[in-house]
Amino acid sequence: MIELRTPGEIDEMQVAGEFVASTLAALKERATVGVSLLELDAFAHDLIRRRGAESCYLDYAPSFGSGPFGYVLCTSVNDAVLHGKPTPYRLHDGDLLSLDFAANTNGWVADSAISVVVGTARPEDLELIALTETALDAGIAAAVVGNKIGDISYAVGSVAQAAGLSVNVEFGGHGVGRTMHGDPHIPNNGRAGRGFPLKPGLVIAIEPWFMRGTDKLRMDPDGWTLRSADGSRTAHSEHTIAITDNGPIVLTRPRR
């Protein structure tokens, strides 16, 4: 069911958004050569406890995963793109790391993701990250009253296609509110003018994730971590936004 939020509820969701944004900013600084993915997860867990927030991931057990996720942070490295379970793996110079984090504060959820290069960056990795960020900006720009879900999908997919990338639509954006994943589903490619009409009070996560060489996925034996089927590098960017009569509000934008 698609739910619409009042202006007051959107203000409350902004609090969750600011916490998620600040946590990702802190994790970005923490993600250096030699740091393990489990250490990043423990750091995020500590920030959740200090804030009095709740993790959206810890006991999450949807149909597309294998049992409860068990961690508070998704850490996807290099050819991993989504739902990466933290492991003892220690980051190497040049790793492309995607961090996906969602939390609940005072009953409201926000969800966001960033991709960064650890240490020395390959130009092609920076380009891929920039493409996801450009696609995210395009999707946000299309998230206005009077448009439809398909307009967001088309805006995101057009950026990928212009760069010669094919797009997987199995996983994409989604509604956000009292829970992390709700209706509507927002594919990362689609036809403009199709789908649910965008209305004031709709709160959604838009999340472009692209793979350099394929649109096919494979899953690790852990039942969660999704990787590019051909081993090519990947990147992921995401914001939670609220649609209003005055344009989209990015609830998870970091403070300057």
Element holding 45 (H helix, E strand) = helix 37-51
92 is in an annotated binding site: no
Task: Note the Cα 208 to chain centre separation in Å.
Answer: 8
Chain segment 98-151, per-residue pLDDT in tens? 999 999 999 999 999 999 999 999 999 999 999 999 999 999 999 999 999 999
Alpha-carbon distance of 27 to 101, in angstroms, equals: 10
The residue ranges of every structural domain in the chain are: 7-250
Residue 50 burial (10 A CB sphere; 0-12, 13-18, 19+) = exposed
230 is in an annotated binding site: no
* Residue 187 dihedral angles phi and psi, to the nearest 5°: -60, 160
Chain segment 34-82, per-residue pLDDT in tens? 999 999 999 999 999 999 999 999 999 998 899 899 999 999 999 999 9
- Is the pLDDT at 183 greater than 90? The verdict is yes
- For residue 256, name the pLDDT band (cuts at 50, 70, 90): low
Average pLDDT taken over every residue of the chain: 97
- Is the pLDDT at 159 greater than 80? The verdict is yes
- Is the pLDDT at 216 greater than 70? The verdict is yes
What is the pLDDT averaged over residues 214-229?
97
- Is the pLDDT at 213 greater than 80? The verdict is yes
Residue 180 burial (10 A CB sphere; 0-12, 13-18, 19+) = buried
What is the pLDDT averaged over residues 179-198?
97
45 is in an annotated binding site: no
- Its pTM stands at 0.96
Cβ count within 10 A of residue 52: 9
Task: Let me know the angle formed at the C-alpha of 152 by 189 and 247, rounded to the nearest 5 degrees.
Answer: 170
Polymer length in residues for the chain: 256
Q: 7-250 has which CATH code?
A: 3.90.230.10
- Is the pLDDT at 232 greater than 70? The verdict is yes
Alpha-carbon distance of 36 to 8, in angstroms, equals: 40
181 is in an annotated binding site: yes
CA torsion through residues 85, 86, 91, 94, sign:
positive
> What per-residue confidence (pLDDT) applies to 1?
87
100 is in an annotated binding site: yes
